[in-house]
Amino acid sequence: MRRRTLLAAGGATAGVTVLGLAGCADITPAVTSGPPEKVTYLTGFNLTGQDAPVFVAIEKGYFRDRRLEVAVKAGFGTGQNLKLLRSGQADFAVLDVTGALLEYGAAGHRGFRMVAAYYQRSVSCIMALQSRGITQPRDLEGRRVGYTAGGVNKTLFPTYAKLAGVNDRAIRWTNLPPAQLRPNLLAGQLDAVTEIVIGRPAVEAAAGQPVSVLPYSDHLRDLYGNALATSLTTAMGNPRIVRRFRDAVLQGLAYAIDHPDEAGQIVTQHVKTYQATAAAAEVRAMAPFVRSGVGIGHIDEARVVQSVALLQAAGAIPEAIPPNEVVSLELVP
């Protein structure tokens, strides 16, 4: 299918620009005139250093060059982001690929399509201050663990717990808004929180002590991490704007991981309370998840099938999900 797409594009390359993204190449129509189109972008969860790519794309003019004006809003996790996409309150959003599969299978969320992978591996984890003595999954039993409803970390936890030998019902879960999770952890109100692996530098900097990290990928291998998604209506009805946005944000991603210190400074320009050094450390931590031997942004159809099979085997989703029901394969770089 990819070969057919490229051959079809080969006959109409006049007036287009070719964008190389560290091993990822695609062809998108040049946009040279007219007012910018306004779009709204939801981050995955709150505003953190991992959102450097979209801020870099804004500051470097990657969106402007593609006649786009982007409003960035803090996301609320995969479940809520899907609702906002479907309702038309956002044009693009960050979703966790596994979370999107779970929402599609169990919650019946439809009407979205993923178009590029930010992370080639899952970054979901449970994080605790080292002083809490949580060093293995079973240490979570009886502890207070903070989460945000609709976030993939909580949705995926029962599957992780089954494989890690943890009694999910023995955990004292506390539901909090995204912005309150880290402060409550640092204040000692929680023993642990759902987090992302690359958030470790920022949490350690704020806590002034090491943290313990329990990555879901230790037991849930081969799952994708975050991805760029849009509504089915946009993917089907306006693929050109999808490609323009996709290319700009992936260009920002490539630049950010190649220039983490500069990217950290750019994050603080947009999120005043975030330390540039912490943001830069998070961007550095992103690199191995972004570059894993494939082109930046690539989503492999066979891997999506494997992910679905793994979740089915764990009892997390009731039936198989065709990859083209959740991924617009023709829009994947």
Domain end, chosen from 174, 201, 218, is at 218
Q: Are residues 108 and 164 in the same domain?
A: no
Same domain assignment for residues 168 and 227 = no
Residues 252 and 268 grouped into a single domain = yes
The string of pLDDT tens digits covering residues 314-325 is 778 888 899 999
Judge if 247 and 317 occupy the same domain: yes
**pLDDT of the residue at 271:** 95
253 and 295 share one domain: yes
What is the structure's pLDDT at 36?
Answer: 93
Would you say residue 21 has pLDDT above 60?
no
CATH code, domain with 208:
3.40.190.10
For residue 27, give Cα distances in angstroms to 21, 232, 265: 11, 21, 31
Whole-angstrom Cα distance, residue 113 to residue 110? 9
Number of domains in the chain: 2
User: Considering only 7-11, 19-23, 258-262, which range has the smallest mean pLDDT?
Assistant: 7-11
Compute φ and ψ for 296, nearest 5 degrees.
-60, 130
For 99-108, write each residue's pLDDT tens digit: 899 888 776 6
Supply the range of the domain harboring residue 249.
2-120+223-331
Q: Do 115 and 264 belong together in one domain?
A: yes
- Residue 264 is predicted with a pLDDT of 97
Asked whether the beta carbons of 50 and 203 are under 8 A apart, the reply is: no
Q: What is the pLDDT of residue 159?
A: 85
- Of 218, 243, 269, which residue constitutes the final position of a domain? 218
pLDDT band per the 50, 70, 90 thresholds, residue 12 = very low
Is the pLDDT assigned to residue 17 strictly greater than 60? Answer: no
Structure tokens belonging to residue 270 = 């947009």
- Pull the structure tokens for residue 55: 């801020």
**107 and 150, same domain (yes or no):** no
Does 30 score more than 60 pLDDT?
A: no
51 and 78 inside one domain: yes
pTM: 0.79
Q: Are residues 304 and 173 in the same domain?
A: no
pLDDT band for 31, please (50, 70, 90 cuts).
Answer: low
Q: Provide mean pLDDT across the span 81-106.
A: 91
> Could you give the CA distance from residue 20 to residue 23 in angstroms, rounded to a whole number?
7
Nearest alpha-carbon partner for 41 in 260, 234, 214? 234
Separation between Cα atoms, residue 62 and residue 36, nearest integer Å:
12
The span from the CA of 82 to the CA of 80, in Å, is: 5
> 32-62 pLDDT, tens per residue?
567 899 999 999 988 999 999 999 999 999 9
Give the Cα separation of 194 and 208 in Å (integer).
19
Q: How confident is the model at residue 313 (pLDDT cuts 50, 70, 90)?
A: confident
Query: DSSP state, 192?
Result: E
CB-hemisphere CA count at 13 Å for 58? 17
Please provide the average confidence, as pLDDT, over all residues in the chain: 87
- pLDDT for the residue numbered 189: 96
Q: Which helix (H) or strand (E) holds 75?
A: strand 75-76
Lowest mean pLDDT of 128-142, 150-164, 215-229, 270-284, name the range. Answer: 150-164
Q: Look at residue 107 in the predicted model and tell me its pLDDT.
A: 64
Average pLDDT of span 254-269? 97
Domain's final residue, options 218, 247, 275: 218
One domain for residues 114 and 230: yes
Report H helices in the chain: 2-10, 52-59, 78-86, 97-102, 152-164, 178-186, 200-207, 232-237, 239-258, 260-270, 276-290, 301-313
pLDDT value at position 23? 39
> Phi/psi zone of residue 322: left (φ > 0), alpha (ψ -120 to 50 degrees), beta?
beta
pLDDT, tens digit (0-9, with 9 covering 90-100), for 193-210: 999 898 898 899 889 999
**Do 300 and 322 fall within a single domain?**
yes
Structure confidence at residue 149 (pLDDT): 83
- Residues 245, 116, single domain; the answer is yes
